[in-house]
Amino acid sequence: MHSNTTIQTTGNSSANVTFVRPATFFINGFFNVPHAKYYYVFLSLLYVGTVLGNSFIMCIIYLARRLHTAKYVAVFHLALSDLCGSSALIPKLIDMFLFEHQEISYEACLAYMFFVFHFMNLQSLTLLVLAYDRLVAICFPLKYHAVITKTSMSRIIGWMWISSVAFFSVLVSLINRLSFCRTNEVNSYFCDHGPVISISCNSNFINYLLAYISFGLLICMPVILVTLTYCCIALALLKIAHGADRIKAMKTCTSHLVLVAIFYLPILSVNVKSMSTSIDQNSRIINNSLTQIIPPMLNPIIYTLKTEEVMQSIKQLYKRRKVNSISERNVKRKK
């Protein structure tokens, strides 16, 4: 399935350098797996849960005044990133494999890649910001409200967006320097960066170098910083004399630690394994797709069930709505 689109560019040398830019890429998906469509149906069901869960947590934070704090600005942003990331990936994936539209234009493929990686990076950085919030709250409690403000949190999130957009714009735009003269078939379930650059037929050293830099900066570095953060938190908790206060402080960290484990461990495991041995295409697709869809689905559930503030806010909003509905009924009866 080669492209007919060929672009010739002439450099300073007398020889012509021919770049082959495919009009479309063909996304292969699973290799030789019967009834693979059922897996994509399963992912679509998880996506529905993701949309409902994250929309719910965003509405609760918006409606409950007690949650209008700097910490919940970050939680709201995590839910938004989860929702956008899943929406960038899954609807197109369903269209490709359930409705058999596996061909995607060159430009659409690069846009697809950008948005999936951009929102995944925002999820990673937001988890790091929430770790910073817990560090200040437990290690420097007297300075917390002075340091962690809605303004400072909004600035951090703004910086995250600007840096992420800039980085992934460069990462994706560098694919334009590659020539695809052998094939346009991508051995993945979406326009993944590694599988796309691997089918190029000219030097892709810069692309791989940037991919390794992005893995180090955007995955490994946040994991290291989160680990150091919780080492500092653990030392601070040991200094707390009363066991009840220590348990109370630990409870504020458990939901975040669960989110960190669910998000980072699968990504780290598959990337570390791929550096030492080659991973079967089907195994990689299952691991990566579940890594990209399960954490966004679980995040609102974990925050709802494990965070007392959110549960109290839900109860208050429910009571308020119940009182309002009773008042409306009484007014209608009087009329």
pLDDT reading at 292 higher than 70: yes
Quote the pLDDT of residue 166.
97
pLDDT for 139-149, tens place per residue?
A: 998 999 999 99
pLDDT reading at 10 higher than 80: no
Quote the pLDDT of residue 12.
45
pLDDT for 31-83, tens place per residue?
A: 888 888 999 999 999 999 999 999 999 999 999 999 999 999 999 999 999 99
pLDDT for 11-30, tens place per residue?
A: 444 344 567 889 999 999 99
In this prediction, residue 311 has a pLDDT band, given cuts at 50, 70 and 90, of: confident
Quote the pLDDT of residue 63.
93
Burial of residue 294 (CB within 10 Å: 0-12, 13-18, 19+) is middle
- Here the contacts of 163-169 (C-beta below 8 Å, separation 24 or greater) are 164/118, 164/121, 164/122, 164/125, 165/118, 167/121, 167/214, 167/218, 168/114, 168/117, 168/118, 168/121, 169/114
pLDDT for 100-159, tens place per residue?
A: 899 999 999 999 999 999 999 999 999 999 999 999 999 998 999 999 999 999 999 999
Q: How many helices (H) and strands (E) does the chain have?
A: 11, 5
Cβ atoms 251, 134 nearer than 8 A: no
Count how many residues are written for the chain. Answer: 335
CA atoms within 13 A on the CB side of 105: 3
- Domains with residue ranges and CATH for the chain: 6-323 (1.20.1070.10)
pLDDT reading at 1 higher than 70: no
pLDDT reading at 8 higher than 60: no
Quote the pLDDT of residue 3.
46
In this prediction, residue 317 has a pLDDT band, given cuts at 50, 70 and 90, of: confident
pLDDT for 228-287, tens place per residue?
A: 999 999 888 888 766 676 777 777 788 888 889 889 988 888 777 776 677 788 888 888
Quote the pLDDT of residue 282.
87
Quote the pLDDT of residue 14.
38
Quote the pLDDT of residue 17.
53
Q: How far apart are alpha carbons 334 and 51 in whole angstroms?
A: 41
Segment 192-205 mean pLDDT:
93
